[in-house]
Structure 1
Amino acid sequence: MSFRTVVITKESKLSLRMNHLVVKSDTLAQIPIGEISCLIIENPNIIITGHLMNALTENKIMTIICGKNHLPQTFLQAVYGHHRQSRLIEQQFGWQKNYKERLWQLIIQKKIANQKQLLNHYYRQLNLTIFDEYIDDTELGDYSNREGHAAKVYFNLFFSNEITRDTEHAKNAALDYGYQILMAIFARTIVSKGYLTEIGIKHRNEFNLYNLASDLMEVMRPLIDSTVLKVIDDQFEKEEKRKIANVLNQKVVINNKMYYLVNAIEIYVESVFKYLSTGNEKYIKFPSWKY
């Protein structure tokens, strides 16, 4: 089982040799491909061979390339993720509206519950009953936008009313960084299951290549939020990025067992696709965790 997150920060040449990732810069390092779950390339001044790129996608290694702002910008994915991809995509276009609306209701209820859990852990003195009301009032498809109302209250409390989600601040930069990593995990997993990331159940932005990933990752955002609260103060530099990326090594509970985050997301995504194909809610397995 893959478990290592590899971060490239220096100008390097990346290649493949004997099924190992070879990193040549000031020094030479070799890492077995089978041990890597995520490769983050922070320094865009790298040379990477085609053999390695193919090996990364064949082994379903999440590969993220950061841009000039040092935030994740490019995901490396296979063109074909599954041998039955055409059939599965046809099924995706046929997912029933009521199944999708019910799934979105469950996702938002779970997301709000996870937000409440985080606030309850870090700010024990707060009265959080309003989050229970948001959960109870979430309708099919969340057409009354309980998610948006909950998010406004949540981030005001999260930031202690000192800044907003739009403020240029280290915590916001860290949130964006963590969310992009989470997005990459979901996008890679969706493609590996044979589905399109562009076709979401709620997100329908024509400029978003990752609508479905945006949908399914909502329940996991508070996990990134918690990491930001623990490790970010007033700066977001190299060391802080390592700590945010380390969330990939965290274990969560799914189906009554402990799994590394990447493996838990795979189980969760697979369970969602089974539900959308059958309408049987018993298939849905949400990850959970404690702080």
Structure 2
Amino acid sequence: MIKRTLYFGNPAYLSMKDRQLVVQKEVTSPGETLSRTRTDISTIPIEDIGVVMLDNPQITLTHPLLNALLANNTAVITCNERHMPSGMLLPLEGNTLQAERYSNQINASVPLKKQLWQQIIQAKIANQAAVLQEKGVDIEPMRYFQRNVRSGDPDNYEGRAAAYYWKNLFDGVVEGEFTRGRFEDDPNNLLNYGYAVLRAVIARSLVGSGLLPTLGIHHRNKYNAFCLADDIMEPYRPYVDRLVLSILNDFDDVSTLTTELKARLLVIPALDVVIDGKSSPLMVASQRTTASLNDCFEGASRKVLHPVIL
């Protein structure tokens, strides 16, 4: 069953009762600053929740609720004053064989990691090519890049493909030449938000498979707590890009992340994804990807299952 993604953008008091997340609206009486009343809004079974996004400084969570969410392997995301995801909370214990799987992951050989990175980049470029093809862009350069990726990608075909991809993806949709970057102009704000949601989904799946999101295959930034999540999400990024492209076709102004725009991006965990010849929601597909990655670390397989945009 696909887990639900919950977004809270208004003041609220979140608690737990009978294994249900209880949402209460925080109401301040006119002219009062300290006195608040709470009005029950709804309840949601905790077992149905996969991601919770907190986007208001006046949201309160009880400790029992937080523990219950973590026990359910729910990713809890907090947003900063710019309403961009800034932090993520995941359980320390996500799998009964966690110690053994950590050991396999830590002891993975360099050749295996290079082969896994080769597969990741090939899958990423293939999906980027599929998105460009939907736009009518010539994808022969992308096919060339994909075919020539070697173990560890020493020739940086990922970077070459990215340059061609971003040059053409938003051509004719945004004014001027698009530059991809965290702090660049829109629609980078949409991409940043979407990737943050995707990152949470992948990190959640890694924890559920008993893997350590911090210890990456290729990403090694010592300040990054989610290096492996950043590795594994690469072939999934084009799904976010395609969603952002559809948003740009529907909205004239995306300079501000409105509630409506966020709602469009929060469907990412439920996007239809084809993996191993079968269609499933992205959140379910990511669990198959991370489970197959664990098989590789254990030596039971040499191939990770990646999503395919047809």
2: CA distance, partners of 1:159 / 1:289: 18
Indicate which of 240, 246, 251 corresponds to 2:267: 246
Identity level (%): 33
Alignment of 1:65-144 (within 5 A): 65-122=78-135, 124=136, 126-144=137-155
Moved more, 101-110 or 88-97: 88-97
TM superposition shift of 1:279: 6.3
Per-residue CA deviations over 1:175-221 (Å, capped at 9, x if unaligned) read: 00111111111112212222221111111111111111111110000
TM superposition shift of 1:158: 1.4
Gaps of 5+ in 2: 28-38
SS at match of 1:15: strand
Pair 1:62-2:75 in alignment:
yes
SS at match of 2:152: helix
2: CA distance, partners of 1:79 / 1:5: 21
2:229 alignment counterpart? 213
TM superposition shift of 1:2: 4.2
**Aligned 8 A contact 1:251 1:261 in 2:** yes
TM-score when normalising by structure 2? 0.88
Letter in structure 1 aligned against 2:11: E
Moved more, 164-173 or 15-24: 164-173
2: CA distance, partners of 1:133 / 1:251: 27
Letter in structure 2 aligned against 1:252: V
SS at match of 1:120: helix
Pair 1:174-2:190 in alignment:
yes
SS at match of 2:56: coil
Alignment of 1:178-197 (within 5 A): 178-197=194-213
**Aligned 8 A contact 2:2 2:270 in 1:** no
| Matched pairs, number | 287
Alignment of 1:43-58 (within 5 A): 43-58=56-71
**Aligned 8 A contact 1:44 1:65 in 2:** no
1:272 alignment counterpart? 293
**Aligned 8 A contact 2:145 2:157 in 1:** yes
2: CA distance, partners of 1:287 / 1:141: 20
TM superposition shift of 1:222: 0.2
TM superposition shift of 1:253: 1.9
TM superposition shift of 1:260: 1.5
**Aligned 8 A contact 1:197 1:212 in 2:** yes
Q: Give the 3 Å change call, closer, same or farther, for CA 279–130 of structure 1 in structure 2.
A: farther
1:259 alignment counterpart? 280
Per-residue CA deviations over 1:128-153 (Å, capped at 9, x if unaligned) read: 21111111221110011100111011
Gaps of 5+ in 1: none
2:17 alignment counterpart? 17
Pair 1:158-2:179 in alignment:
no
Moved more, 271-280 or 40-49: 271-280
TM superposition shift of 1:249: 1.7
1: CA distance, partners of 2:277 / 2:73: 25
1: CA distance, partners of 2:95 / 2:5: 24
2:52 alignment counterpart? 39
Letter in structure 2 aligned against 1:34: E
2: CA distance, partners of 1:265 / 1:191: 11
TM superposition shift of 1:44: 2.8
